[in-house]
Amino acid sequence: MVERAAFFMETTTATATTPAKRPHLIRRLYDWTLHWAETKYGTVALFAVAFVESSFFPIPPDVLLIALTLGKQSRAWFFAAVCSVGSVLGGMFGYAIGALAWHVLEPIFIPYVFRREIFEKVVEWYNAEAFLYVFVAAFTPIPYKVFTIAAGVCQIPFWILVAGSLVGRSARFFLVAGLLYFFGERMRGFVEKHFDRLMWVFLALLVLGFVAVKYLR
């Protein structure tokens, strides 16, 4: 498990990150995603970005969730709910891609959306602990889209994908919205700068909590 966690961390570092270091196209997509916060279609855009990010879009919905929540903190929980629902539905769409169209779309997704070695690792792990890995991918900055599509390719039970995604995505987006709701603008720089580490820390605390409960029992 330690080896797998290290691979997850490496994958996260290699895939996700600071806008300043992104290629020009990704930076433009990042700015395009953010600009919706200044329009009346911000909520619709949040749902759409959360949906497509679950299967192929490279920009995480958190950036728009942060901007919208700071613009109207009283709707923080509503924005988190919209983001969660959009992302879980998008995960179902990713599952459908893997289950029904992978033989056609594989040359497009690999290597343009994610790397083959990452995908093959995920397929290997799914055979053992599907729910755990769906949850971890849904909650942390690991590329969730790899797991939704691999879930369909591996034909894991659909309910596992839905349950793991619902728990993980909701926990992640409500955590971000909650921090901004209670601490507002003061938290913005911290969340944006340390988002990856923050998710890993909370995951570690969650795991330790389960271990503690099991030990006490």
Rounded percentage of the chain residues whose pLDDT exceeds 70: 77
More confident residue, 215 or 188: 188
pLDDT of residue 195: 65
Residue 146 · residue 122 · CB < 8 Å: yes
Give the residue extent of every domain in the chain: 2-212
Interval 153-207: pLDDT, tens: 888 999 999 999 999 999 999 988 998 888 877 777 777 677 667 667 766 765 6
Interval 42-60: pLDDT, tens: 999 999 999 999 988 888 8
Q: State yes or no: pLDDT of 111 exceeds 60.
A: yes
Q: State yes or no: pLDDT of 122 exceeds 70.
A: yes
| Alpha helices, DSSP H, located in 36-157 | 42-53, 62-71, 76-100, 102-112, 116-126, 130-139, 144-154
Q: What is the DSSP string of 67-95?
A: HHHHH-GGGHHHHHHHHHHHHHHHHHHHH
Query: What pLDDT band is residue 129 in, cutting at 50, 70 and 90?
Result: confident
pLDDT of residue 177: 92
